[in-house]
Structure 1
Amino acid sequence: MEAEYDFSKGKRGAIDPTTSGKTRITIRLDDEVLAWFREQVHSAGGGNYQTLINEALHQHIQAIRQPLEETLRKVVREELKRIER
């Protein structure tokens, strides 16, 4: 062990760079929710429970957006029909 170490070229922060388009946050989840996602990853033979949570959130967002898009299309079609008359 050296008596003194040179940290002048050291860098603070995470060792692995984060992927662009992703943000590190702290979130509190119920124990049972976290256990369920970890169990799903374990049952699948491995993986990352955080990725699984992210995918579940994406699917939820898509499920919410889809009805809105369908409603908008319906309104636009009705208005176009009304204008054509």
Structure 2
Amino acid sequence: MRKEYDFSNGKRGAVIPSTGKTRITIMLDDEVIEFFRARAEALGAGYQTMINTALRAVVDDAASKEAEDKPITVATLRKVLREELNTA
């Protein structure tokens, strides 16, 4: 080992950056945390992963409902018909 190490070019924070996820601090009700921790322990999973999965389901559901509420355009209808006729 060296007697001294040069950390002048060092960077603070995580050594390995994670892509697609952001670390945050959030306040949740005690009952919510207890529910997810108990469920995670029973299933052998991480409670934070389970919370993320539950939130992802809400986001996906909202996105699909928004897509259903939009009227179909003539351009979209033509595109779908072309694709169907080409595969037939």
TM-score bracket, normalised by the shorter chain, equals 0.5 to 0.7
Cα RMSD after superposing both structures: 2.2
In structure 2, runs of 5+ residues without a counterpart are 75-88
Please point out which of 47, 50, 54 is paired with 1:49: 47
List aligned pairs for 1:1-85, cutoff 5 A: 6=4, 8-9=6-7, 12-14=12-14, 17-44=16-43, 46-72=44-70, 75-76=71-72, 80=74
Taking CA–CA contacts closer than 8 Å with sequence separation of 6 or more, which of the two structures ends up with the larger relative contact order? 1
* Alignment match, 1:83: none
Q: Quick one: distance in 2 between partners of 1:55 and 1:62? A: 10
Count how many residue pairs are aligned between Structure 1 and Structure 2.
70
Q: TM-score, normalised by structure 1?
A: 0.66
In structure 1, runs of 5+ residues without a counterpart are 81-85
Deviating 4+ runs (over 2 angstroms): 5-15
SS in 1 for 2:68: helix
Q: TM-score, normalised by structure 2?
A: 0.64
